[in-house]
Chain A
């Protein structure tokens, strides 16, 4: 599986929304992939080998793999650049590729549950802070109808390419229905 940065995803979606031709979309995706590969940032699976405990901590042993959401390496994030205003808060956020690497490491040390959490987290990097907070609050008891929860799952799948998160929300919708935890049940 290949992961994209937030901006790349947004770009693709915008192009699709614009009624861009399939050819243009394909070329956009290919461009992005080529760029990723040239930077050595392709998803680990396509590198032929999964990461394991021997690569941990990534910040020391695989600095080459660690980049921020906007593509900065750890050594690029310096106090001088922060003071000069060249680095903003969005530049020092984590990105999905990193969480995918950490997911592989978690699997390699027999922590499948933690790996699943990191997989959902990777998807969530694409969701803005405010929307993510809203989504969490929406999942709290008695906040949403079943249909609203299903709509949220669709949003997760379609808008944010977050199938693992969507699956969790759909499962919750069924459980809340059975256990009377939906909006109006109290």
Chain B
């Protein structure tokens, strides 16, 4: 993928518009399916769960609305559906929260693990970076880390859900095969920085962590 000036201009205008507090125009006039916002309903403060058969998935505030897809254009609705499917395949249930306090993937996942009845949680950034976490680990440790967003594909999300569920059941699964693309950085890092700066604009410490369900 090559960043064109038009793309940049669009992203920057959009962000600057939001920073000024203006009602942001929809991301793109010529919206395709992947641009459809995720239909998330916020249900009030998230509670710590007691169900040992749940895995909690935390996403940051902009997830599903701005933007609506990962850095390699997987719609956020698909991301969540795949993770949930992976968890359900193992007979467990997925619970979603939106964390308004952090856009750091490690802390996001760590917060999910703290809320999770099983002690296992997943954090997913809008661009696709993900972590499987366990509540007793230090925040910057992890069970599995998927640091390169351009390599996290739809199947990976399902595998992440599946493995998280296995950890929740006390199993010791084969980790999702690690992928590495040394050329992801030169191609995507500048863009990732732009996207992340967008992501943090939506943080709101007053709102803390909210339970969400898909409408």
- Give the B-binding residues of A (Cβ under 8 A): 137, 186
Contacts and interface: CB of A to CB of B under 8 A. Distances in A.
B24 interface: no
A157 B205 CA distance: 37
Contacts of A186: 101, 205
Contacts of B138: 137
B84 to A, nearest CB: 29
Interface in B185-215: 205
Nearest to A137: B138
3 contacts: A137-B138, A186-B101, A186-B205
A69 B101 CA distance: 46
Nearest to B140: A140
A45 to B, nearest CB: 40
Contacts, number: 3
A186 B203 CA distance: 13
B143 to A, nearest CB: 19
A1 B205 CA distance: 49
Contacts of B205: 186
Contacts of B101: 186
Nearest to A186: B101
A186 B138 CA distance: 17
Nearest to B102: A186
A186 B209 CA distance: 12
Q: Which 3 A-B pairs have the closest CB atoms?
A: A186-B101, A137-B138, A186-B205
Nearest to B138: A137
A137 B138 CA distance: 9
Nearest to B205: A186
Nearest to B139: A140
A137 B205 CA distance: 24
A126 B205 CA distance: 41
B99 to A, nearest CB: 12
A179 to B, nearest CB: 15
B52 to A, nearest CB: 27
B58 to A, nearest CB: 15
Contacts of A137: 138
A186 B101 CA distance: 9
A186 B205 CA distance: 8
Interface string B87-115: 00000000000000100000000000000
B80 to A, nearest CB: 26
A137 B136 CA distance: 13
A151 B40 CA distance: 46
A137 B140 CA distance: 12
A185 to B, nearest CB: 10
Interface in B118-145: 138
B114 to A, nearest CB: 12
B5 to A, nearest CB: 40
Interface string B136-162: 001000000000000000000000000
Nearest to B107: A186
